[in-house]
Amino acid sequence: MQQIDAQSFDSKLKGNEPLILLDVREEIEYHTYNIGGKNIPLSQLTEKLALVSPNKSDEIIVICKAGLRSQTAQAILLQNGFTNVKNLTGGLLAMQRLQA
């Protein structure tokens, strides 16, 4: 499974590259701190796959707090035909360390 580290992800964001950011944390976590993107909690992902992207070949970067839930979400997306899915290793914690 493809991974992306915080520094590479930050470069993509700053370069305005076309990608879909999918945050799979629970809604309360998302509203406490987020960097944008769609919020579909991991517990609801299977039922809401149609909301992720109409094009299954779009680049999707899945994020969560530490990278574990997003790794599970990545597997779900790949099993359902999405082909360009990356997991943010270290999650938002890695992004916060990068920006500190």
pTM for the full predicted model: 0.95
Q: Is 64 a catalytic residue?
A: yes
Count, in order, helices (H) and strands (E) of the chain: 4, 5
Which candidate in 64, 85, 94, 95 is catalytic? 64
Residue 52's pLDDT is 97
Q: How many residues does the chain have?
A: 100
Domains of the chain from N-terminus onward? 2-99 (3.40.250.10)
Residue 49's pLDDT is 97
Most confident listed range (34-38, 42-46, 95-99): 42-46
> With the C-alpha atoms ordered 7, 52, 85, 59, is the resulting torsion angle positive or negative?
negative
User: 79 pLDDT exceeds 90?
Assistant: yes
